[in-house]
Amino acid sequence: MEVIVKGVYKHFKGNYYIVEDIAINSETDEKCVVYRALYGDAKLYVRPYDMFCSLVDKEKYPNVTQKYRFEKVDKLD
C-alpha cells in the first residue's frame, strides 16, 4: 500500500484523517506518516509508515470489515 500525501484516510474505528506528509526519523531512518485528525481539535499525529499501512488485527477486532488500519477514501461518509 502506498500512502498518498494530502489523501484522506479512514481509520478502522471510524475517524477520518488527512496525511500531511511523510517524514524520516532522524535517529533511526524509519519512514513515518504525519497525519491530522479531521475531527475535534484537529490534532497532528505521527506513526511508523508500516504500522499506518498494517492490516487490522482480526483476532482483536473480529467485527471490523475494513482490511487495513487506514484506508484511503474519496469522500467522507
- State the total domains in the chain: 1
Is residue 63 in some structural domain? Answer: yes
0.85 cut: is pTM over it? yes
Q: How far apart are alpha carbons 69 and 28 in whole angstroms?
A: 23
Is it the case that residue 75 has pLDDT exceeding 80? no
**Average pLDDT value for residue range 40-51:** 97
**CATH at residue 56:** 2.30.30.320
Considering the chain, what percentage of its residues have pLDDT values greater than 90? Answer: 94
Residue 67 is assigned to a structural domain of this protein? yes
The reply to whether 3 falls in a domain is: no
Residue 38 lies in a domain: yes
The CB-side HSE value for 60 (13 A sphere, CA atoms) comes to 6
* Overall average pLDDT of the 52-75 stretch: 95
- Range(s) of the domain holding residue 68: 8-73
- pLDDT averaged over the chain? 96
Residue 51 counted as domain residue: yes
Residue 2 belongs to a domain? no
Domain assignment of residue 44, yes or no? yes
- pLDDT for 23 equals 98
